[in-house]
Amino acid sequence: MLDKSIPYFNIILIRKYNTKYCEERLPKWFHYESFKSGDEVHWAEIETSVLEFSEESEAMKYFDREYLKYKKELSERCIFITTEEGQKVGTATAWWNTRNEIRVPSIHWVSIKPDYQNMGLGKSIVSKVIKTSIELDGDKDSFLHTQTWSYHAVGIYLQAGYKILRDGTFGKYQNDYEAALPYLKEKMGKRFSIERDTMTLS
């Protein structure tokens, strides 16, 4: 769930190639499923549940505009966590952004429904999409955009080998590192050394 009690600032993270990561196993009673036609409904439901969108119809329009034209890629790259009963409760996508007409690997839309958070599902699906990205795109520098509202998720990304970018970005995202830093320190300082987990893009 996003914490909208603090200001919104953009955060850019990078996982450098050859960075080791731990393959986290899903907890019992859950399994992965790849995207299939119609799953955009479940994606919209999950993203709306964590307050990324105010309405599921808004999320559906976004997904249709940004992703549905890439149906083959979606079946390989968009992943869901599903319960034994068949309910989709989490998602993440091993996608890309374009820089000078070249695809740059990036992780999109990591989300777990509120009732299923704090169960290790976030760590598991982040490791799954890292593995998927490496399998599909090779082990390259991979990026991730998030925001101060998602500081809980930032901790998961840091544990998975990502670093916060002090400057620089990918795609068209803005990097608000200096503005975001005080809020990351306030919310995460007891568990992480933010400066240690920060790097400059070279």
Q: Average the pLDDT over 143-153 and give the result.
A: 96
Q: Average the pLDDT over 119-126 and give the result.
A: 96
How many CA atoms lie within 13 Å of 202's alpha carbon, on the beta-carbon side?
A: 4
State residue 195's pLDDT score.
73
**Calpha distance 24→49 (Å, rounded):** 24
Higher model confidence: residue 199 or residue 80? 80
Residue range 162-199, pLDDT digits in tens: 999 999 999 889 999 999 999 999 998 777 777 788 87
Residue showing tokens 């919104």 = 8
Residues contacting 142, CB < 8 A, separation 6+: 14, 15, 17, 105, 106, 107, 130, 133
The secondary structure element, H or E, covering residue 19 is: none
Q: Average the pLDDT over 17-45 and give the result.
A: 95
Residue 107: pLDDT above 70?
Answer: yes
**Averaged pLDDT score across all residues of the chain:** 94
State residue 201's pLDDT score.
74
- Residue 192: what residue type? F
**Nearest in space to 198 (alpha carbons), one of 12, 9, 4, 54:** 12
pTM of the model as a whole: 0.93
- CB of 89 closer than 8 Å to CB of 49: no
- CB of 127 closer than 8 Å to CB of 21: yes
Residue 122: pLDDT above 80?
Answer: yes
Residue 114: pLDDT above 80?
Answer: yes
State residue 194's pLDDT score.
79
- Compute φ and ψ for 20, nearest 5 degrees: -70, 150
Give the strands of the sheet with 10-15, arranged side by side.
Answer: 30-34, 78-83, 88-99, 102-112, 142-147, 10-15, 163-165, 198-199
Task: Show the CA angle centred on residue 24, arms to residues 52 and 132, nearest 5°.
Answer: 70
